[in-house]
Every structure is written in C-alpha cells, then in structure tokens.
Structure 1
Amino acid sequence: MATKAPSSSTRFRSPASAVWFLPAAVFLLLFLLLRRPPMDPLAPSVPPTSVSSRRAELYSRMARDLDERGAAFLKGGETSQSLTLSDLFDVRDGAVVPKLKAADPPVRANVLYLDPEFAALISKAVKEVFLPYFDKVIWFQISSMYHFSMFHASHHLEPILATKDEIEAEVDAVKRVTEAVCPLKIVLDQVVLTSTGVLLGLWQVESGTDPANIRSKLREALPRAPQKQLYDPVLLHTSFARILGPPKLQQEENTSSFNHIKFFHDLVAQVNGKIRGFQAKVSELWYVEEYDVLALALNGKMKVRMLDLGCNEGQSI
C-alpha cells in the first residue's frame, strides 16, 4: 500500500514526473461530448431511491458510445476539450509523454480521491490487458492520481477569477462540506471505452454520501462557481487510460477488413472480467488548483489541499 501524504497538505508536481497515465479519468471533461444536458446548478439533493437507476441508464448510454460514434481516436479525433491528441501527447524515446501547457487562469477543481491501495490493483489489471497491444500509443493514468471529478469552482469554459484570499475562503467552505460528508463504499459497475479513446471505470455507491448530494453541498458552499458544471450529478467515474493510436496486430489481422470495434470490445470484456465488481472506499476530497491544462489527468503542475471526509453530522446518503 502506497504511503499517503498527510491531510490538508500541499503538493506540487512537475512535468518530469509524468511518464504513464492515465477520466478521471485525463479527461474528465469527456462528458461534454456525450450529448448530456449540463448539470442543473440549482438541483436539489437526489433521493437515494432514484440514484442507482439513473446511474444505470447513464452508464448504459456511455457503454454504447463506441458503437454509435466509432473509434474516433484512430483518426486523431478531438478530445473532450476540443484538443487533438497531438496537442496533448508526444512519443519520445519510445514513451508517451504529455505536452503540458499553462492553464490561464488555473482551474479549481474538487475531486474525490481513490487511495493507491485500491488504484494499484486496477492499474495492474488494465495494463495487463492493454499494454501488449498498444505499448507506445497508450497513456495510463498514474495510479497515485486516480480521482472522481465532483465540482469546479472555476473551469476552462467559465473561468472564475479569485484572489489568494478568495481561494482560501473557498478551501474553508469546502472543508466544512467534507466534515459533513461520509466516506463512500463503492463498487466498480463496469469499464467502458469511449469513442475518444478513454478507458473509464463507472462506479455505483453502496453506502456513504452520494456524489449527487456532495455536488449539491459544494454548490451551496461555492456560490461563485460556474453555473454550468461538467458532469451529470449522479456520475461517478475514473479515467484509467487513453488510447492514442491503433493496436499492434498480427500480420494476418492488420487488414482493412479487421473489425477494430469488436477487438476493442473484447479487450474491455477482459478488463471487466478481472475487475468488475471491485470494491473500494473513498475517504478524501481534494481541492485542486491546476496550473497546467488537465493537470490532474496529465500529472502536471498543481496545488492540492487534501481534506478528510468526516461524517460529523451522521449523514449517510
């Protein structure tokens, strides 16, 4: 089990430390492409009886994305931030490395954090299946950075400038939220591959404060935040990897008639066979200032405040 930094610490990361990845998940802005209406910023807390079915319907649509849109990533398609894959990555000395560029202004994100105790097992399974076929054209999420995007105090579509004092006030407000939020016990519902090449883990919640209610609490705590958020209120997802190009195939398979979609479905089925139903516990929320574009996904420069989920009010939904 990896050693964790103490709660409420600050962490800076440099580009040199980024070699392998992974949407949250990269790319947790994926869902701007999934034709889902934006999160209603004034939506009330979601009753627990409706959450599971809403997630199941959402996840079913996401699982169909590859079939409906095809493997756009094989054609150098756009990412979820209207950037091409070549805008985000280089291949140097046989390794995929991110092209980091400064975020102006920095993005301020609130994410739930998955402890490396759990993330390392998932990362191992994903690499066992995908690495033999993709090698130099895949970016694996670094297992120490697995996360679930919750709520943005500022994002690239609607930047909300803040002074240092205003940022500290936001951190204090988020800390008050985390003190009333209960740790989550979650289970991996399924793994899917999207048309943009992102391998995602989609999760259900067995107990603890539901993500829809966490987002609602963060909305109340951060009234200056963008009115349009980036995710469906019930979504709980982690990015595991991003595929950047075609697979290495046997010579007899490398023909124009080869069914790439079926091939990708087979690989995803192998991953699901290894880790579907995997259980984990989430007990931290991070307030992150991303100084590089997609810093959480690309292991760029960022400042992290680690906040424990306290459950002080005894809320479990």
Structure 2
Amino acid sequence: MSEQRKATTHLVGGFCGGLVSAIILQPFDLLKTRLQQDTTNTLWKTLKSIESPSQLWRGALPSCIRTSVGSAMYLTMLNSVRQAISKGKQTGSTGSSYLPQLNMYENLFSGAATRALTGLITMPITVIKVRYESTLYQYTSLRNATSHIFQTEGLHGFFRGFGATALRDAPYAGLYMLFYDQMKTIAPTLLPSSVIKLNSDNRYTTYASTLINGSSAFSAAVIATSITAPFDTVKTRMQLEPNKFRNFTSTFWHIATKESVKNLFAGISLRLTRKAFSAGIAWGIYEEIIKKFV
C-alpha cells in the first residue's frame, strides 16, 4: 500500500472515531463546562437549569469539528512520529493492534509532542466551543461567537488558554500512550477467555481486538485524565473569563488559595466519563479501520 493511502486511512480512521465519540458524548462536555464555570453549582442544579434535552447538545457543531478534525490530524501525525521512531517495526506481542510498539520514553514523547501541535492548530475551535457552551456569553450562533471574540480580543482571543491547554493535553497524551500500550498487553489476561479468540490468521478476532483496544483505551484515559484534571479547570477558567484570569500561574494560584484545592478538580467526574468513553470509542474504531485497510 502506498504511503499516501496509508496516511489517508489514518485520517479517515481518526476522523470517524472522533466524530462518533463527539456526537455521543457532547452532553458530558457541556455539563463539565457549566460546572467549571460556577463551582457553587451541583450536577443536579445544572441539569435542572437546562430547558430541553436538545440543549445538552449546544455547541455540538464546534465540538464535532474540533474532535473529528483534531483526532484525524493527531492520529495521523502520531502514527508518522511513532513510525519514524520505531523505524517501521510493527507490534507482534498482543495481536490486537497494527500500530508501532515503543518504549516508555518514546510513548511519552510521541504522544506529548504531537498533542501539543494538534492543540495549537485546533485552539480557535476549542475557544469558540467553550464560550458557546457557557452561560456567561449569550451567543445566538457560532458566527456571532466568532465575530464577538475577534472584535473584542483580536486574533489572540482565539488562542486564549493555550498554555494551560498544552500543559493539560501534552502530559495527558504522553501518559495516555504509555498506559495504552501497557494495557493492550495486560487486557487479554484480565478479560474472560471466552471472548479472547483467535482467527485463522492466528490474530485476535475483530470482536476480541475491539474489546482489548477499547478497554485499554478506557483504562488509560481514566488514569491520564485524573492526573491532568487541574489543568483542564485552569484552561476553562482562562477561556471563560479572560479579563480576570490572564495566565496559567495566577489562575491556578487563585483557584487553589482563594477558592479551594477541590475546585481544581471541578467537573472531574464528567470529564473522566467523557474522556474514558471517548477514548474507548475513538481508539476502538480507529484501530479496527487501520487493521482492515492498512
């Protein structure tokens, strides 16, 4: 298969996985934003303030664009970096994946560097999404949100909170790749033997590999999300109240000392749920597409 077709397959796999997960899990993202916006709110109060079920998908369009395009870019670039590091060596240990297998430091570096670059490129969509989901801004449309940010803050406004985002996403992606690779080796020993079956090529069946990859992605996301949760809260505050919170250090210090350390983990249950299921869905779909077409 040509390199161009391989790259296209990674793009399609990442796009499809990201799109499906974004559509299904948008309500969790919206609720997380609302809880981080006002830490005196509870999940129940936030749910009661939503007028109709369709409001749970407010901001779904920028979320879908960001997640699908971001996943396509990230996974394609990540594969290129991992292939370059591994010099094309493929895994043969678990049989559930066709992606290169790297050591701990290579996983940390490849995930972190690629995620930081992808985050920079998709940052404007992220800012628009967060503002649109929030109740602090009464935007009537995405066009209204975009023009307001540009008129009041200029181009810089579209990159508000990038430092906090990079500090969240780069370590998250590095830790995620580290734990994901490890879990793909461990998962077959933990899952019921009745579902871990091999096909005629002595590789895991589609059902078995999807289960292994999906559960590994889910577990890795839970660990990485828990560790990087404070960075997500700081990022959201900086994007919602740019005049009050201007840089990462002062925002982090304000939340930790003027409010409480607990507030640094505001919305973590929703973020854990969304990130874990998003990773399980997106990586499960992505790995299967790669396995079938590369």
The question of a shared fold, defined as TM-score above 0.5 by the shorter chain, is answered with: no
Which structure: greater helix fraction?
2
Which structure: greater strand fraction?
1
Per the normalisation by structure 1, the TM-score is: 0.28
Larger RCO, structures 1/2 (Cα 8 Å, 6+ apart):
1
